[in-house]
Structure 1
Amino acid sequence: MVLLMGLHSRAPVSSTAVISVSAFSTVLLPGKFRINVVGNKNSEFGLGVRERSSPRLSIRLQASKRQNWAEEPLVRGKVTKRAMQVIRDVRIWGQEKHDDIQALHRILDEWAARKKPERRDLLDVLKDFDNYLDREILFKLTEWSFNQEWFEANARDYTKLIERYGKAGRVEDAERTLQMMEASGNVIDMVVLTVMIGIYGKTRQLEKALETFETVKERGFTPDIRTYNSLMVAYGYAGKLREAELLLEEMTMAGVLPDRETYCALINGYGRLGQVEQAQRVFELMVSRGVKPTTKVCTALLDAYGKVGDADSARVIFDSLRVNGFIPDDRAVTLMLKAYERRDLLNKAVGLVVELESAGIKLGSETLTTLIGWFGRLGLLAEAEEIFTEMERKEVTIKPKTCALMYKAYSRAGQLDKAEEFAEIMKGRGIVFSANNGMGFSSEAIQLEVR
């Protein structure tokens, strides 16, 4: 695999530099077989006897109900045959007329009437669409399923949908689903209330998060570590770090021991405010209390240093991950590159990429998207194109943000026709982005920056 050796080994990059970049099967599992016994209901093996016939062993082989369907490339997971058929039809609908909700309902209604699916079949369908690119289809499928009596939607089904709406920033839909959940007779328990606290927190609606936290207590539930952590995140996003520190004391007094997520929320909160000394203090407090750091916690501290432009300290933390046996994940690598980008240290960033790939660490979607944006800003269109091409070839997830940055790279280079052609190609693949919103970022892409 060709790396960024050319750029790494020479003087700082200019707008005419050439960089060689390389970014990063469905296995058909054998069916499981069961031996059914004729004439013996209680045994796994037995002899069946026919009239006027000598005893013989009667064996029936039955394939596992869930399979990988190699003949249906539109089906990604291991699903039942009934699920496979409707997944294929829904994906075709998504490619051809994804805005026609009535057509989708006809497909689903006909499937339900013809195939008489069970709950597990529909769960397989939902699981196959449970990914970033199919998220809008998943929402439509899930809401349709809740109207099917035979599906028998339970509290956890509603909670999952609420959680996914929250991740998409669709707070009103999450609230509406919560009302549907209560109207359907499902109990509003502490699990779903905790999810709502997290949704309100990450969308900077601290008052609603606090109201929901009080609802937990009013309904007779005892807040657990997840509930406290969700509120801690809400305080962090709101910049209320003094209140967050008081919550830390409240947790301890209530007998709920803070964990890594608790301290990570505090570190992230101080990092957003650029208070890196406080973030470091919380990190050291965590370690002194015997809570071992993880990649996520170290990444939060790394980000805090990166936001204030201290790329050297951020790199020390990044290197400590590998020294302590952790493999930096996509987010950690991305934040380290962003720390370098704030200081225009492209050569150091490329050196890091070379080092990681030499160690066998693959670059993920966020990392490669960051490089595309950086190269585009420098006018290095060929290098940005090469990364995007490798993402396609290696089937690395391409998000609207990735496309928006690639579009912007074409625009900066004055290749507006190619930019529009690129947008049409991506639209044909189901990836829609806004070229004008946020200087080339879609609103969804901007939301991805908020963690």
Structure 2
Amino acid sequence: MAKHLKVLLSAYRVSAFRRHFSIPGDIHMSLVAESVVDMERTDASTIIFPLLSIAEGGVRFPLHPFFRVVLRYWGLLPSQPNVSELALLEESFEANVRDYTKIIHGYAKQNRLQDAEKILLAMKRRGFLCDQVTLTALIHMYSKAGNLKQAENTFEEMKLLGVPLDKRSYGAMIMTYIRAGMLDQGESLLREMEDQETYAGREVYKALLRAYSMIGDSEGAQRVFNAIQFAGIIPDAKLCGLLINAYVVAGHSHKACIAFENLRRAGLEPNDKCVALILAACEKDNKLNKALGFLIDLERDGIMVGKEASEVLVGWFRRLGLVEEVNLVLKEYALIQVNCKGRAF
């Protein structure tokens, strides 16, 4: 039994719980004596939903899907941050900085900035200092809310702690810059990390690469792609596809083809997206023969055209008025689908 159980389990706490969540009066709430083995229903219309515990700032309802649906429907399923806040604000609860951080993070995930900041103020009133973990949670919150200035101020506050920043803290700020469209600043932080021999997570590199790719900044995409390899992360077909897309959007079809060939030389099998991008680049340059040669090479290596690549071909052939070729591509794709389903069984 949790160390705070005796403090939290009382008739007063149950009443406070009811008031805090505005639970209707026709919902009966009561403590069960330790001697009670099973709870009997008052009548046939009564359903019992036991609270397994009110301890360590948490309330745990039964996890059966039916119970969750019913409680949510009637507005009786409080979120974990709210319940934990109720305990934290009690003077008798011996909280620590991690308790506050978890609640702040919980509110941040729900985009409830005011509630998170209220907990932050309560934390400071109790004399707790924000550490790197708490400040990182705040940066995540401000980042998702689009509050760049607050995120930057929090990041600067984190630097004043005088301890080396970890990859999570850097990653949170880099993602903030990516969401704000300030890719140069995000890349600058990546270089700052590299100088300290600290490297961001794969998802951060991928997000920055995607951002450069979508706007057709092929130079920025290539820099990030190089940084990914420098960080010891092995690129997969999806990362290569983002680099290829950057070159296609920028109108550098030749470099897109080189990136595709590099993918093949690295021993990676191109996915349907990569194939579709090369076909789209060939169409943009009006190089039908090159596209057909490309497809022949793929078929020779046992790589079949997928749905997205087939759609690019169909659209291209239709614009050229090649009706028979369109029907041929559709038949071949349908045959590939049938063969794939046959192998699946």
Amino acid of the structure 2 residue aligned with 1:253: D
Change (3 A) 1:301 1:244: same
Under a length normalisation based on structure 1, what TM-score does the superposition of the two structures give? 0.40
Select the residue among 152, 155, 159 that pairs with 2:101: 159
Select the residue among 65, 85, 92 that pairs with 1:146: 85
Amino acid of the structure 2 residue aligned with 1:102: S
- What residue is the counterpart of 1:371 in the other structure? none
Amino acid of the structure 2 residue aligned with 1:298: L
Q: Does 1:227 align with 2:169?
A: yes
Q: Distance in 2 between matches of 1:354 and 1:185?
A: 67
Asked if the contact 1:271/1:300 (under 8 Å) is kept, the reply is: no
Change (3 A) 1:254 1:102: same
Q: Distance in 2 between matches of 1:219 and 1:107?
A: 49
How many Å apart are 1:221 and its aligned residue?
Answer: 3.5
Higher relative contact order, chain-length normalized (CA < 8 Å, sep 6+): 1
Amino acid of the structure 2 residue aligned with 1:301: L
- What residue is the counterpart of 1:110 in the other structure? 30
How many Å apart are 1:105 and its aligned residue?
Answer: 9.6
The range that moved more, 169-178 or 297-306, is 297-306
Deviations along 1:92-140, whole A, 9 cap, x unmatched? Answer: xxxxxxxx941179969635999893527945449889x9x97x97664
Amino acid of the structure 2 residue aligned with 1:282: V
Select the residue among 239, 250, 255 that pairs with 1:298: 239
Amino acid of the structure 2 residue aligned with 1:174: A
Change (3 A) 1:241 1:357: farther
- Greater Cα radius of gyration, structure 1 or 2: 2
Deviations along 1:10-66, whole A, 9 cap, x unmatched? Answer: xxxxxxxxxxxxxxxxxxxxxxxxxxxxxxxxxxxxxxxxxxxxxxxxxxxxxxx9x
Asked if the contact 1:267/1:300 (under 8 Å) is kept, the reply is: no
Change (3 A) 1:139 1:351: farther
Q: Does 1:248 align with 2:190?
A: yes
Q: CA RMSD in A?
A: 5.5
Q: Distance in 2 between matches of 1:237 and 1:219?
A: 26
Change (3 A) 1:121 1:190: closer
Change (3 A) 1:345 1:241: farther
Asked if the contact 1:126/1:142 (under 8 Å) is kept, the reply is: no
How many Å apart are 1:151 and its aligned residue?
Answer: 6.7
How many Å apart are 1:193 and its aligned residue?
Answer: 0.7
Q: Distance in 2 between matches of 1:185 and 1:338?
A: 59
1:382-393 equivalence runs, <5 A: none
How many Å apart are 1:206 and its aligned residue?
Answer: 1.9
Q: Distance in 2 between matches of 1:287 and 1:155?
A: 37
Select the residue among 45, 55, 65 that pairs with 1:119: 55
Asked if the contact 2:54/2:60 (under 8 Å) is kept, the reply is: no
1:279-428 equivalence runs, <5 A: 279-293=221-235, 298=239, 301=242, 308=249
Change (3 A) 1:302 1:279: closer
Asked if the contact 1:197/1:230 (under 8 Å) is kept, the reply is: yes
Amino acid of the structure 2 residue aligned with 1:117: S
The answer for unaligned runs of 5 or more in structure 2 is 2-19, 35-50, 273-305, 316-329
Overall identity of the aligned pairs, in %: 29
Amino acid of the structure 1 residue aligned with 2:166: D
Change (3 A) 1:286 1:121: closer
Deviations along 1:387-419, whole A, 9 cap, x unmatched? Answer: xxxxxxxxxxxxxxxxxxxxxxxxxxxxxxxxx
Q: Distance in 2 between matches of 1:126 and 1:153?
A: 25
- What residue is the counterpart of 1:217 in the other structure? 159
- What residue is the counterpart of 2:207 in the other structure? 265
Asked if the contact 1:198/1:234 (under 8 Å) is kept, the reply is: yes
How many Å apart are 1:254 and its aligned residue?
Answer: 3.2
Asked if the contact 1:194/1:226 (under 8 Å) is kept, the reply is: yes
Asked if the contact 2:143/2:175 (under 8 Å) is kept, the reply is: yes
The DSSP-based 3-state class of the residue aligned with 2:169 is helix
- What residue is the counterpart of 2:14 in the other structure? none
Asked if the contact 2:108/2:116 (under 8 Å) is kept, the reply is: yes
Change (3 A) 1:238 1:121: closer
Asked if the contact 1:145/1:151 (under 8 Å) is kept, the reply is: no
Q: Distance in 1 between matches of 2:314 and 2:59?
A: 48
Under a length normalisation based on structure 2, what TM-score does the superposition of the two structures give? 0.50
Q: Does 1:188 align with 2:124?
A: no
1:6-21 equivalence runs, <5 A: none
Change (3 A) 1:160 1:308: farther
The DSSP-based 3-state class of the residue aligned with 1:102 is coil
Q: Distance in 2 between matches of 1:108 and 1:216?
A: 47
